[in-house]
Amino acid sequence: MFKVSAKELFLWLKDDASKRDNKESLYLLIDLLGGISKQDLNSLRIDSSKEIYLKQDIKKLNSYWNDFINKEIPIQYLCGYTYWRDLKLKVSRDVLIPRRETEQIADIVMDICRLKKKVLYADLGTGSGAIAIAIAISNKNWRGLATDIDSNALNVANENFQRLCNTSNIKFYCSNWWKPLVNYAGKIDVAISNPPYIPSKVYEGLSTSVKKYEPEIALKGGEDGLRHLDQIIKFAPKFLKKGGWLILENHFDQSNQVSSLLKNNSFESIEVINDYSGIGRFTIARYK
């Protein structure tokens, strides 16, 4: 731990860091690397004569901040962690930084299954494990299956699971979408996926911080962005129970196409759910 005066920290914030206009990222850095939350910082402003203990000294914070500003490396990768829902998840460049809009997907699943005591769910393309773990923590009697094509991503997911859950209710599998779940054919109550869905042309226009540092395999969905959604929907009937649910995240303008794919593959009760910004981000449906 590094003992500094709050004044010193505020001086750095004022003189160096806040010259670049990105306060939220700065707070995140101080929280994840320095161990001082935004709330703590605000209360220190009232009495800046206090001494505080930082997990890293100001020089180190400053060097990370410069990497964020000059090289556009996401703060979350620099610090190795992110906040998502109420979880602090480990992240590395092998996994997508789980997004704010995806937080809602766990609530959708839990709402749909609220009357069931035992649920078998599958999180396809689990990445950091965010979705599967959030569901597992709230539902200790449910069983989860989580797949990803990337074994390094699965290592991160597994590590998050071991650290955050004191249960053993998720099994991890490395392979293509449904492929490793043959033993569960016809037995899954609900499957969730936030697959790579960015159309090729849109991907080219994304920021450097995304294109250079986040895994391409987690984002690119082929020319129209639907390549993986199509695969997941086509094979879903083999794995879901009759009456089981498929809960998908898609790009802001894909819900009509995703709904058609669902309709053509024996799904009913198709519904598009808006995210908190009012965008039709989730398409859900029930297998007939």
Which contacts of 164-170 are long-range, i.e. CB under 8 A and separated by 24 or more positions? Answer: 164/87, 164/89, 164/133, 164/137, 165/133, 165/136, 165/137, 167/136, 167/140, 169/136, 169/140, 169/141, 169/142, 169/143, 169/144, 170/129, 170/132, 170/133, 170/136, 170/143, 170/144, 170/145, 170/146
202 near ligand SAM, judged by CB under 6 A: no
Q: How far apart are CA 206 and CA 221, in angstroms?
A: 14
- With H, G, I as helix, E, B as strand and everything else as coil, classify residue 123: strand
Comparing CA positions, the residue from 265, 133, 105 lying closest to residue 193 is 105
Please pick, from the candidates 69, 165, 217, 270, the single residue that binds ligand SAM as defined by CB under 6 A: 217
Please pick, from the candidates 161, 177, 267, 287, the single residue that binds ligand SAM as defined by CB under 6 A: 177
- With H, G, I as helix, E, B as strand and everything else as coil, classify residue 248: strand
Nearer to ligand SAM, 31 or 94 (CB): 94
147 near ligand SAM, judged by CB under 6 A: yes
Any idea what the Cα angle at residue 50 is, between residues 44 and 52, rounded to 5°?
80
* Least Cβ distance, residue 167 to ligand SAM (angstroms): 20
Residues 63-122 that bind ligand SAM (CB under 6 A): 95-96, 98, 102
Please pick, from the candidates 34, 74, 127, 221, the single residue that binds ligand SAM as defined by CB under 6 A: 127
* Stretch of 15-23, 192-200, 237-245, 267-275 contacting ligand SAM, by CB under 6 A: 192-200
* Stretch of 1-9, 11-19, 193-201, 265-273 contacting ligand SAM, by CB under 6 A: 193-201
* Least Cβ distance, residue 232 to ligand SAM (angstroms): 9
150 near ligand SAM, judged by CB under 6 A: yes
Phi-psi bin for 280: left (phi > 0), alpha (psi -120 to 50), beta? beta
Task: Please count the other Cβ atoms lying within 10 Å of the Cβ belonging to residue 129.
Answer: 30
Please pick, from the candidates 75, 133, 218, 261, the single residue that binds ligand SAM as defined by CB under 6 A: 218
* Least Cβ distance, residue 249 to ligand SAM (angstroms): 7
Task: Assess contact for 242 and 270: CB atoms under 8 A.
Answer: no
164 near ligand SAM, judged by CB under 6 A: no
Please pick, from the candidates 151, 176, 200, 208, the single residue that binds ligand SAM as defined by CB under 6 A: 176
Nearer to ligand SAM, 128 or 283 (CB): 128
How many amino acids of this chain bind ligand SAM (CB under 6 A)?
A: 22
* Least Cβ distance, residue 65 to ligand SAM (angstroms): 25
Task: Assess contact for 105 and 247: CB atoms under 8 A.
Answer: yes
Those residues whose C-beta lies under 8 Å from the C-beta of residue 213, and which sit 6 or more positions away, are 72, 73, 74, 77, 93
Task: Assess contact for 272 and 259: CB atoms under 8 A.
Answer: yes
Please pick, from the candidates 74, 144, 195, 244, the single residue that binds ligand SAM as defined by CB under 6 A: 195
275 near ligand SAM, judged by CB under 6 A: no
Write out the residues near ligand SAM by the rule CB under 6 A: 95-96, 98, 102, 125-128, 130-131, 147-150, 153, 176-177, 194-196, 217-218
